[in-house]
Structure 1
Amino acid sequence: MEHFVEIIKAIAWPVAIVWVGYIFRTEVRQLLGRISSLKYKDMEANFDKQLAKAESEAKSITVTKKSTEDLSQTEQLLRIAEVSPRAAIVEAWTLIEMAASKKGLKAGVTLPRTSPKMIVDYLQLSGELPPNSIEIIEQLRKLRNQAVHMPDFAINQSEAERYLELAAKSAAVIGATES
């Protein structure tokens, strides 16, 4: 009988925690949705810190003009961010891809859209962008990869909106340097 009591004592807290987690599962999901960093074994991702670093570097970049098409796309992305911040980040990266593709086509270069890394490499090799722009685009690529490839990684709406702003600014810088 003593062994039975010891077993009950040993499993009481874990069972209680699982039971409370089950009862409040919707609240727990909402709480986990607010998490912007994740650490698992040797891998750690902190979206907010990396985004802040890219923003601080982007302050030195000035964009001369924004087309009405760019504003329309940005507005659409902001609407997507309200529903799914992760999807908005993935779509925001396409602004950079499209700007790089247009730049390559005008320069007579065929730019394969096989990987985001190839796009960054092409932009770096073109030599028309300032080095700090390339660094920002590379950081945006890494953040996009985290959003895409880390299923437990959650991004909130404000972080997605900040990412969208940087992606739109980077795409405008790439477009402004068109040949």
Structure 2
Amino acid sequence: MGVLEFILGMTNSLVWPITLVICVILMRSDISSLLRKIRRLRHKDTELDFGRELDEAMLSVSSEEASSPSLIGDDNYSELARLSPRGAIIESWLHVEKALRSYADRHGVEIDERKPFRLGRGFMQSLDYERLGKGIIETLRKLRVLRNEAVHLKDSDLGYEDAEKYRQLSSRVIESIDNI
């Protein structure tokens, strides 16, 4: 009886794990398509929500700037955004960095060449808050965070619309920086 009780106990213990593995195998294509649509990740105290943060950043830009034309890209950008939204977001950030370099040169702001636009205390204190304004600096901070999130996400986690919103927001910030 000892052997039969052992087998029965093992069977009871393994029923749910085996059932779960079989379900995952049978539904793997459905599960993978769902995972590609995830735009929000949360683990303990860390949370990434690309769409929400991008929408918040767009709202932080004033409505009068909302009508300004895009300064970044053309049809090539749109094609890049369709093929690789992540690549398009990174490309937009590079245009923002170029505008920040130009601003730094025009106003004599020293930047660390190893980490030129790390928006930490040192760089932020060297920027002229009076000229740029808290809104632009906050938007720069959000753009940087969104760029970092995009770098760590897959293209399948981002969409064309995300890249276009990021480009519009970047263009508005660049226009503001160039006009100062």
Select 1:176's aligned residue among 171, 174, 179: 179
Q: Once structures 1 and 2 are overlaid, which stretch shifts more, 17-26 or 90-99?
A: 17-26
From the superposition, tell whether residues 41 and 60 of structure 1 become closer, same or farther in structure 2 (CA, over 3 Å). same
Name the residue aligned to 1:125. 127
In structure 2, what residue type is equivalent to 1:91? Answer: E
TM-score by length of 1: 0.76
CA contact (8 A) 2:90 2:151 kept: yes
1:83 matched to 2:83: yes
Pick the aligned partner of 1:2 from 2, 5, 22: 5
Q: How does 1:27-106 map to 2 (within 5 A)?
A: 27-60=30-63, 62=65, 66=69, 70-71=71-72, 73=73, 75-106=75-106
When the two chains are superposed, the root-mean-square deviation of aligned CA atoms in Å is: 3.1
Q: How far apart in 2 are the matches of 1:53 and 1:175?
A: 23
Q: How far did residue 101 of structure 1 move?
A: 1.3
Any gaps of 5 or more consecutive residues in structure 2?
none
Instruction: Give the one of 122, 138, 141 matched to 1:138.
Output: 141
Larger Cα Rg: Structure 1 or Structure 2?
2
% identical aligned pairs? 27
TM-score calculated relative to the size of structure 2: 0.76
